[in-house]
A and B are shown apart, each in its own frame.
Chain A
Amino acid sequence: MKQFQYSRPATQQAVIDAINKPGTKIIAGGTNLVDLMKRGVTAPDKLIDINHLPLKNISIGKGGLQIGALALNSVVSEDKLVLQNHPLLSMALKAGASPQLRNMATVGGNILQRTRCAYFYDTTMPCNKREPGSGCGAIGGYNRMHAIFGASDKCIAVHPSDMCVALVALDATVIVQSKKGTRRIPFADFHRLPGEHPDLDNNLAAGELILGVEIPDNNFAKNSYYLKIRDRQSYAFALVSVAAALELDGNTIKNARLAMGGVAHKPWRLVEAEKALVGKTVSAETFNIAAQIAIQGAKTYGGNDFKLKLAPATITEALKHASGLV
Chain B
Amino acid sequence: MKSKNPPEEPAHEDNFLESSRRDFLKHSGLLTAIAFTPSPLVKAAQSGLDEKIADLYEKVPVSLEVNGVKHQLSIEPRVTLLDLLREQLELTGTKKGCDHGQCGACTVHVDGHRVNSCLTLGVIVSGKKITTIEGLAKGDQLHPMQEAFIKHDGFQCGYCTPGQIMSAVACIREGHANSEHEIREYMSGNICRCGAYPNIVNAIQEVKEGGQAV
A→B interface (CB under 8 Å)? 1-11, 13-14, 17, 23, 27, 30-31, 34-35, 37-39, 43, 45, 47, 49, 51-52, 74, 97-101, 103-104, 233-235
Told that A27-B121, A51-B124, A101-B189 touch, could you supply 8 new A-B pairs with CB distance under 8 A? A6-B77, A6-B123, A8-B13, A30-B120, A97-B189, A98-B104, A104-B116, A235-B188
Pairwise interchain contact A5-B77, C-beta atoms closer than 8 A = yes
- The smallest C-beta distance from B6 to any residue of chain A, in angstroms, reads 5
Task: Return 7 A-B CB contacts under 8 Å, by A number.
Answer: A3-B76, A4-B78, A11-B2, A99-B176, A100-B189, A101-B189, A234-B184
Interface flags, B102-121, vs A, CB<8A=1, else 0: 00100100000111100111
Pairwise interchain contact A13-B1, C-beta atoms closer than 8 A = yes
- The smallest C-beta distance from B47 to any residue of chain A, in angstroms, reads 11
* Residues from chain A with Cβ under 8 Å of B180 in the complex: none
Pairwise interchain contact A10-B189, C-beta atoms closer than 8 A = no
Give which listed residue, A3, A11, A30, A74, contacts B41 with CB less than 8 A: A3
Give which listed residue, B52, B80, B123, B167, contacts A100 with CB less than 8 A: B167
- The smallest C-beta distance from B197 to any residue of chain A, in angstroms, reads 12
Pairwise interchain contact A8-B9, C-beta atoms closer than 8 A = yes
Q: Is B134 an interface residue (CB 8 A)?
A: no
Pairwise interchain contact B116-A1, C-beta atoms closer than 8 A = no
* Residues from chain A with Cβ under 8 Å of B167 in the complex: 99-100
Q: Is B3 an interface residue (CB 8 A)?
A: yes
CA distance A47 to B107 in the complex (A): 24
* Residues from chain B with Cβ under 8 Å of A6 in the complex: 60, 77, 121, 123
Interface flags, B172-210, vs A, CB<8A=1, else 0: 001010000000111011100000000000000000000
* Residues from chain B with Cβ under 8 Å of A3 in the complex: 38, 40-41, 56-57, 76-78
Known: A49-B124, A234-B185, A235-B188. A100 touches B116 (CB 8 A): yes
* Residues from chain B with Cβ under 8 Å of A45 in the complex: 40, 44, 56
* Residues from chain A with Cβ under 8 Å of B41 in the complex: 3
* Residues from chain A with Cβ under 8 Å of B123 in the complex: 6, 49
* Residues from chain A with Cβ under 8 Å of B188 in the complex: 98-99, 233-235
B→A interface (CB under 8 Å)? 1-6, 8-10, 13, 38-41, 44, 52, 55-58, 60, 76-78, 80, 99-101, 104, 107, 113-116, 119-121, 123-124, 167, 170-171, 174, 176, 184-186, 188-190
* Residues from chain B with Cβ under 8 Å of A38 in the complex: 99-100
Pairwise interchain contact A10-B13, C-beta atoms closer than 8 A = yes
Pairwise interchain contact B13-A7, C-beta atoms closer than 8 A = yes
Pairwise interchain contact A4-B100, C-beta atoms closer than 8 A = no
Pairwise interchain contact B1-A52, C-beta atoms closer than 8 A = no
Give which listed residue, B1, B38, B100, contacts A35 with CB less than 8 A: B100
* Residues from chain B with Cβ under 8 Å of A10 in the complex: 2-6, 8-9, 13
CA distance A42 to B115 in the complex (A): 23
Pairwise interchain contact A47-B189, C-beta atoms closer than 8 A = no
Choose among A30, A34, A100 the residue with the greatest number of B CB atoms under 10 Å from its CB.
A100
Pairwise interchain contact B124-A99, C-beta atoms closer than 8 A = no
* Residues from chain B with Cβ under 8 Å of A103 in the complex: 113-115
CA distance A8 to B12 in the complex (A): 9
Known: A10-B2, A10-B3, A100-B104. A4 touches B116 (CB 8 A): no
Pairwise interchain contact B119-A104, C-beta atoms closer than 8 A = yes
CA distance A30 to B120 in the complex (A): 7
Choose among B40, B52, B80 the residue with the greatest number of A CB atoms under 10 Å from its CB.
B40
CA distance A45 to B53 in the complex (A): 11
Pairwise interchain contact A35-B170, C-beta atoms closer than 8 A = no
- List the A residue with the shortest CB-CB distance to B174: A99
- The smallest C-beta distance from B203 to any residue of chain A, in angstroms, reads 17
CA distance A4 to B150 in the complex (A): 43
- The smallest C-beta distance from A226 to any residue of chain B, in angstroms, reads 14
- The smallest C-beta distance from A158 to any residue of chain B, in angstroms, reads 18
CA distance A14 to B185 in the complex (A): 41
* Residues from chain A with Cβ under 8 Å of B121 in the complex: 6, 27, 30, 34, 47
